[in-house]
């Protein structure tokens, strides 16, 4: 297996101040934490979460889980190709088997990932030992290092502390989009006193507070840092959008020459702008927005 260091991640990721009147008008400084520039293929927080797991896998087959358009599956598949690791992706949706692969899954397959499709009820129970054993057998995998959906386990959460450490002294409030919440759980732990994290869940449901507490418990043995979630900016749920969100993202892209990833990043930037307008941040506050990834299929711009 090739070493991770040979992939030359850009760490710490760049910090970039931008002028945006939706913030400056209220006396707020906005800085972008460009995790989207860490690596061209293992983008953003996926690098941070996968790196310690790939090291722990130590050359074993890596098996993980995701939906048909999962950023995490693509990052894992790319890592497999770059590092010479065998990867298996367990994909939600039995009905996808035997059909032409969508572009995201085709990319995974081209990177050498073996895809195994399971029905939705099996997928929901995938962490139960009995179900997992059956999935491994059906996928023809004897020994594998298992990475959970979204890559958020204790190793990943501990690694995401580094994101917080890189931001110490550079921001009062850090905004981050949340899927599983693993990135936020680590970020909050690394940030240090006097700073706080504001998470924007992109899934509907309101279950994330408990999930993040559980992740911090697994990773650190208890709660860490100051964080809160604002549940108002999911725009209907995962991968859902509205004309208003699209217009906001397009406008942000053209103003700042930043490719705005739509599933996560657009929602958190929109949420931060809305909070600024509501007077949530005192004048003089520096807000850092973590750019956790970039639109898929679009080259990185700097």
Ligand X SMILES: *Cc1c(COP(=O)(O)O)cnc(C)c1O
The CA distance from 196 to 133, in Å, is 40
Smallest separation (angstroms) from ligand X to the CB of 1: 24
Part of the chain binding ligand X (CB under 6 A), chosen from 17-25, 99-107, 137-145, 176-184: 176-184
What's the N-to-C CA distance of the chain in angstroms? 30
Smallest separation (angstroms) from ligand X to the CB of 67: 11
Pick 71 or 87: Cβ nearer ligand X? 71
Question: Contact letters (x/-) for ligand X, 126-155, by CB under 6 A?
Answer: ------------------------x-x---
Pick 80 or 181: Cβ nearer ligand X? 181
The CA distance from 258 to 245, in Å, is 16
The CA distance from 26 to 2, in Å, is 49
Could you tell me the two tokens for 219?
């990773």
Are 86 and 111 in contact by the 8 Å Cβ rule? The answer is: no
Residues 6+ apart with CB under 8 A from 36: 43, 44, 259, 261, 265, 291, 292, 293, 294, 300
Question: Contact letters (x/-) for ligand X, 34-73, by CB under 6 A?
Answer: ----------xxx------------------------xx-
261 part of the interface to ligand X, by CB under 6 A: yes
Residues 6+ apart with CB under 8 A from 134: 122
Binders of ligand X among residues 177 to 236 (CB under 6 A) are 177-183
Residue nearest to ligand X according to CB distances in the complex = 293
Q: Which positions lie near ligand X, rule CB under 6 A?
A: 44-46, 71-72, 150, 152, 177-183, 261, 264-265, 292-293
């Amino acid at each position: 297996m090739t070493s991770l260091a040979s992939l030359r991640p850009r760490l710490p990721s760049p910090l970039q101040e931008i002028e945006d009147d939706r913030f400056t008008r209220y006396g707020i400084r906005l800085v972008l934490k460009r995790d989207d520039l860490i690596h061209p293929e293992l983008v953003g927080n996926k690098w941070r979460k996968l790196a310690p797991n790939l090291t722990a896998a130590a050359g074993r087959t890596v098996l993980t889980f995701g939906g048909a358009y999962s950023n995490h599956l693509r990052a894992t598949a790319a890592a497999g190709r770059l590092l010479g690791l065998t990867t298996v992706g367990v994909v939600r949706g039995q009905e996808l088997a035997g059909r032409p692969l969508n572009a995201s899954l085709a990319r995974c397959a081209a990177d050498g990932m073996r895809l195994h499709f399971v029905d939705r009820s099996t997928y929901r129970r995938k962490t139960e030992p009995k179900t997992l054993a059956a999935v491994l057998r059906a996928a023809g995998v004897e020994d594998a290092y298992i990475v959970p959906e979204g890559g958020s386990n204790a190793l990943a959460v501990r690694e995401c502390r580094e994101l917080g450490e890189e931001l110490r002294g550079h921001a009062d409030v850090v905004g981050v989009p949340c899927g599983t919440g693993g990135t936020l759980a680590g970020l909050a732990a690394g940030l240090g006193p006097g700073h706080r994290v504001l998470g924007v869940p992109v899934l509907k449901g309101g279950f994330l507070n408990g999930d993040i507490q559980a992740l911090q418990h697994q990773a650190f043995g208890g709660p860490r840092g100051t964080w809160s979630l604002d549940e108002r900016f999911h725009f209907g749920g995962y991968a859902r959008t509205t004309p208003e969100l699209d217009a906001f993202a397009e406008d942000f892209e053209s103003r700042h020459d930043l490719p705005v990833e739509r599933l996560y990043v657009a929602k958190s930037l929109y949420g931060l702008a809305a909070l600024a307008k509501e007077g949530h941040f005192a004048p003089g506050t520096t807000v850092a927005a973590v750019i956790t990834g970039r639109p898929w299929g679009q080259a990185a711009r700097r």
